[in-house]
């Protein structure tokens, strides 16, 4: 019998009905959270632990579909370690004893013992191998993803596009600027958003879609049995250099970059494009966390505009 994930504890119901070898849920432990989700470790009668995240007031398509499909897309590359996804679905609760109604969503994943240290060079090699892998979805040569997702708490649209520069201009920069609604930022960005402007930074470069984590910073990287592991993605298929837009808070060292670029050599113009990809994330941080990121956004915009031909 299929589990009804709309029971009051949809996650426990799904686990008990679809993973019966594990037995009943015997305990749950809060494992942290953010303003948009909470994390728990569920323990079963067999002693097996599972990692569960929940979000109240947001359905599975809005909250966890993107995370689940992103983890699966990275897992399909058979490169770096990512947690296995078992299911995502709806949390529901009965209003006054009547029919059940949706009250949120959940995702059930492999529990990983995140502790210890990993080799930075191995992280670099595995990330390069992931970026070199062919995306699993059959939109050959296209940029985007099989569903929209979120970057932190912000919506991240991923429609399929044939051209990388158009995708990044419309669905990354213009999208974040629209969310910001800041006239000063829009004025500074206007030269970058003109047709053919951003193409200046990609002259002579052939961009192919790579599987991206999409939100790679130190909080989303850890060691599992001495191996690097990445999680909490905002995955899409894009230019591999776009992965490094969060490197300002990722702590990558020389060994990481040497190993990565040994497999994926640094192309001319890398430093300028690094500013462009950082801008996307700084705009998102401005939208999420406020004016402390405004100055960074203005400086990046001004610097990029000066480099336009």
Q: What is the pLDDT of residue 282?
A: 98
Q: What is the pLDDT of residue 102?
A: 52
pLDDT exceeds cutoff 90 at 84: yes
Mean pLDDT of 160-181: 98
Mean pLDDT of 187-209: 97
Give residue-wise pLDDT tens across range 277-300: 999 999 999 999 999 999 999 999
Mean pLDDT of 123-144: 93
Give residue-wise pLDDT tens across range 17-69: 999 999 999 999 999 877 778 899 999 999 999 999 998 877 777 779 999 99
Q: What is the pLDDT of residue 137?
A: 84
How far, in Å, CA of 174 to CA of 178, rounded? 6
CB 22: neighbour CB atoms within 10 A?
A: 18
Which H or E run includes 102?
strand 101-110
Cα torsion through 20, 23, 24, 29, rounded to 10: -110
Least confident of 72-81, 91-100, 165-174, 246-255: 91-100
Q: What is the pLDDT of residue 5?
A: 36
pLDDT over 70, % of the chain: 93
What domains are defined for the chain?
Answer: 10-110 (3.30.200.20), 120-306 (3.90.1200.10)
* CA atoms 295, 203, 195, 235: torsion sign: negative
Mean pLDDT of 242-262: 97
pLDDT exceeds cutoff 70 at 89: yes
Confidence of residue 149 (pLDDT cuts 50, 70, 90): very high
pLDDT exceeds cutoff 80 at 274: yes
How far, in Å, CA of 190 to CA of 115, rounded? 45
Mean pLDDT of 71-78: 97
pLDDT exceeds cutoff 60 at 95: no
Mean pLDDT of 254-265: 98
Q: So which residues are the catalytic ones? A: 215
Q: What average pLDDT is seen over the chain?
A: 91
Least confident of 2-11, 87-96, 232-241: 2-11
The number of CA neighbours under 13 Å toward the Cβ of 261 is 14
């Amino acid at each position: 019998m299929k589990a009804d994930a709309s029971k009051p504890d949809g996650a426990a119901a799904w686990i008990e009905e679809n993973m019966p070898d594990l037995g009943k849920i015997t305990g749950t432990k809060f494992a942290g959270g953010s303003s948009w989700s909470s994390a728990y470790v569920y323990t079963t009668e067999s002693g097996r632990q599972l990692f569960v995240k929940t979000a109240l007031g947001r359905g599975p398509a809005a909250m966890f579909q993107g995370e689940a499909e992103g983890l699966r897309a990275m897992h399909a590359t058979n490169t770096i370690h990512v947690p296995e996804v078992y299911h995502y679905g709806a949390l529901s609760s009965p209003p006054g004893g009547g029919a059940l109604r949706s009250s949120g969503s959940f995702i059930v994943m492999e529990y990983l013992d995140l502790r210890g240290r990993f080799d930075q060079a191995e992280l670099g090699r595995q990330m390069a191998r992931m970026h070199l892998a062919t995306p699993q979805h059959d939109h050959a040569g296209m940029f985007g993803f099989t569903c929209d997702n979120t970057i932190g708490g912000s919506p991240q649209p991923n429609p399929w596009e044939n051209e990388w520069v158009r995708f990044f201009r419309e669905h990354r920069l213009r999208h974040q600027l629209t969310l910001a609604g800041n006239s000063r930022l829009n004025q500074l960005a206007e030269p970058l958003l003109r047709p053919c402007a951003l193409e200046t930074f990609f002259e002579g470069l052939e961009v192919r879609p790579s599987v991206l984590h999409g939100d790679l910073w130190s909080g989303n990287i850890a060691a599992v049995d001495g191996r690097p592991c990445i999680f909490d993605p905002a995955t899409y298929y894009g230019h591999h250099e776009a992965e490094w837009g969060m490197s300002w808070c990722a702590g990558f060292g020389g060994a990481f970059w040497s190993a990565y670029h040994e497999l994926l050599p640094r192309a001319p113009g890398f430093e300028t494009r690094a500013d462009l990809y950082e801008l996307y994330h700084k705009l998102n941080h401005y939208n999420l966390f406020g004016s402390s990121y405004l100055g960074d956004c203005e400086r990046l915009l001004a610097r990029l505009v000066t480099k336009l031909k």
